[in-house]
A = this chain, B = another copy of it.
Amino acid sequence: MNTVEYLKLGWCELCLNVADLERSLGFYRKLGFNEIEVATDEGWAVLEHANLVLALYRGHIKENLINFRGGDVFKIAEELKSSGLELADEAHIEEDGSAGFTIRDPDGNAIYFNTHPGEGEV
């Protein structure tokens, strides 16, 4: 463990782009995941097992995402830019009113920061 005070990115959800939500739900239920929230009519579900929060999306995302939620998105974007990192897009307000931006790690994995109004900083 190092002792650097770290950015509060929020909590993490792993978001999977699924082709068939019911099929994926059936699979992860068999693995013993607990359902946190399921909105099959809207094409998404959030499940959990141990420390993994898994969000399944059909038709909402183009690729799997590491998603941090609940942080101060605009502040995080500024701090990452100050440290020399390049964002994939600028922090902005999404159509649903949440704040968001994306950054890619050196191998191209997408990390999406997204916080809805009322989602507190953790």
| A residues adjacent to B (C-beta < 8 A) | 1-2, 4, 6-12, 14, 16-20, 23-24, 27-36, 49-53, 64, 66, 68, 80, 83-85, 103, 105-107, 109, 111, 122
Contact = CB atoms under 8 A, between A and B. Distances in A.
Contacts of A35: 1-2
A50 B18 CA distance: 25
Nearest to A82: B30
Given A36-B1, A64-B109, A107-B18, A80 B30 contact: yes
How many copies the complex holds: the figure is: 2
A50 B10 contact: yes
A12 B105 contact: no
Contacts of A106: 18-20, 23-24, 27
Given A14-B14, A31-B80, 18 more contacts: A1-B34, A2-B35, A4-B29, A6-B33, A6-B34, A6-B49, A9-B32, A11-B51, A12-B50, A17-B107, A18-B106, A19-B107, A24-B105, A24-B106, A28-B105, A30-B84, A49-B68, A64-B109
Contacts of A103: 31
